[in-house]
């Protein structure tokens, strides 16, 4: 069930993930939730942290 939730979040957060991929080379990604909130004011603090955590997890887990 956890995998299904992660898949849904990945699809929902895809536009943010694309932005995070772009930002990755130019900043410390621990500051990414704050930057996401600046660029997308509709995101709350918790959701921006969840987006970045999901993005980081997508980079470290095998998607096979």
Cβ atoms of 10 and 34 within 8 Å: the answer is no
Could you read off the pLDDT of 35-51 as tens digits, one per residue? 999 999 999 999 999 99
Q: Name which of 30, 11, 20, 8 is nearest 55 in CA terms.
A: 20
Residue 32 has pLDDT above 60, yes or no: yes
Distances (CA, A) of 14 to 3, 11, 20, 30: 16, 5, 10, 19
Enter the pTM of the model: 0.76
């Amino acid at each position: 069930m956890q995998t299904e939730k992660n898949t849904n979040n990945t699809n929902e957060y895809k536009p943010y993930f694309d932005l995070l991929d772009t930002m990755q080379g130019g900043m410390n990604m621990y500051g990414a939730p704050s930057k996401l909130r600046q660029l997308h004011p509709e995101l709350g603090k918790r959701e921006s942290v969840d987006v970045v955590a999901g993005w980081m997890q997508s980079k470290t887990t095998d998607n096979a």
